Amino acid sequence: MNRSTLSLFGVTAALAAVTGVAVLTGAGAPAPAPDAKAASLPVERSALTCPSPSGSDFATTTYTSFTPIGKTTTSTTGAGSAKLVPVAGASGKAKSMAVGPLSTPGKPATGSANTADAPALLGTADGKLAPGWTVQQTTVIDTGPDRGVLGAACTQPDSEFWFPGTSTAADRSDYVHLTNPDDTAAVVDLELYGNNGALTTATGNGITVPPKSTVSVLLSTLTTTKAEDLTLHVTARTGRVGASVLASTAKAGGDWLPAAADPAASVVLPGIPADATDVRLVAYATGQDDADLKVRLLSASGAITPAGRETLHVKSGMTASADLADLTKGETGSLVLTPSDPKAAAPVVAALRITRGKGANQETAFIPATSAITDRATAADNRAKGSTLSLTAPAAGATVKITSSAGTGGGTPVTKTVTVKAGTTTALTPATPTGAKGQYAVTVEHVSGGPVYGSRMLALPLNGIPMFTIQPLPDDRGLVAVPDAEANLSILNN
């Protein structure tokens, strides 16, 4: 490569930095060097994938699309679009489906599907609708063996996902859904790890996901091992995908299991319901060293160490689990895992399987380890009743601003400021927008103080079954750091 070519590349990079072009299409987006001066600018394009919601004839799915009004976005200026379109399934053909396009920040748009073959969706947003764009799909199955509420926040495509909490047990049916948003095929590897390390998988490597298409894989077809607690690792050799796991338990409902936050030495799993009848912790050590972890529950009154479950040892490359029973004892709480010895910290991923109800009236959901809300996070689908917002501040007290948007049928947004004390979890019912009709969004903005982690539970009880779903609230990454640079055309003279 000659010097003039290199110089042109340099000019292009400099001009891109000056114009502040920002695109959010996955966690692998480039970031500036740690010592670079950077400005936070709104992303100009976002991509999401929504998995095929259910194969049940008794399923009804609601989609809620929303972009918050933020520091750099208003509801009256600029241009933008946000839409969802069907992608092809195993047949290679896209099925017809209508989901209302989003037209303005601050007001959600909805769509619905009530067929067993409802397709996966590919979403794109640009302009003023891209920063913080969030889509929630909520499926209610009111009868049959799969009855329950299945909730999922549509995911940003990426090249790697961790799913602790999966299973190949006889009473579980776990499917991983892989959706390719791009014009070229993606090749994906699936790896399963149990309490003795990697499982032999005959068909988990080199799975091709065609362009703008979706593929689902039943995890129990990958191995002959029947295991209650597994960790699934999804990696894309080429391309990128959106990945979600639909985990169903016979006679106890099920839910979408979101991917866990990136491996870290300390992890936070926020928002265990106050009335949880059983809580199961699953963790996996991703590095070369074992992880010895302290287990703490942060309740409204402070930190509690579960009796008999004070620590968890996770061997390198292996999955460990612990049954924490009904540890919340009537108070909403958040689980925090930290190194027993900070000098010997090792990265882990983790998730909780939550059970509410008893006997034939049980329902399950999942809480993965979640990243902090550094700027803003949104739960798109909330109803007049049934939403509970949980926020925890493990290290230091923090203040957040909570906004309930206008509803899909109108109404006036409502905003309140909440302080979360250090080492506690605050659970609250979001305010219903004044005069609102239909679904509304709840946005949490970090104002000051230490890191805040959150989740939202949506409870839709039916026929005596406490049906519910929980969505973590990671930062929406609506802002991206762009290096502070000036145009310097003198490099053309090099």
- pLDDT tens digit sequence for 374-431: 999 999 999 988 999 999 999 999 999 999 999 998 889 999 999 999 999 999 999 9
User: How is residue 305 written in tokens?
Assistant: 């160490």
Residue type, position 124, single letter: T
d(CA 257, CA 162): 10
Residue of 384, 352, 382, 356 whose CA lies nearest to 368: 352
Do 469 and 457 touch, CB atoms closer than 8 A?
yes
Locate tokens 């640009």: which residue? Answer: 126
pTM for this entry: 0.89
Under a CB-based contact definition with an 8 Å cutoff, are residues 23 and 29 in contact? yes
How much is the pLDDT for 78?
61
Element (DSSP H or E) covering residue 325:
strand 319-325
Structural tokens at position 75: 């509801």
Helices (H), 269-350: none
Tokens of 129: 């609708």
Ranges of H-type helices in 103-177: none
DSSP string, 191-233: EEEETTEEPP-SS-SSEEE-TTEEEEEEGGGS-S---SSEEEE
Which residues, at least 6 apart from 79, have a Cβ–Cβ distance to it below 8 Å? 127, 128
Which pLDDT tens digits describe the chain residue by residue (494 residues)? 333 333 333 333 333 333 344 455 443 333 444 444 567 888 999 999 999 998 888 999 999 999 999 765 444 446 789 999 998 765 666 666 687 789 899 999 999 998 888 999 999 999 999 999 999 999 999 887 778 999 999 999 999 999 999 999 999 999 999 999 999 999 999 999 999 999 988 888 999 999 999 999 999 999 999 999 999 999 999 999 999 999 998 888 899 999 999 999 999 999 999 999 999 999 999 999 999 999 999 999 999 998 889 999 999 999 999 999 888 889 999 999 999 999 999 999 999 999 999 998 999 999 999 999 999 999 999 998 899 999 999 999 999 999 999 999 888 999 999 999 999 999 999 999 988 788 999 999 999 999 999 999 999 999 899 999 999 999 998 888 777 655 555 545 54
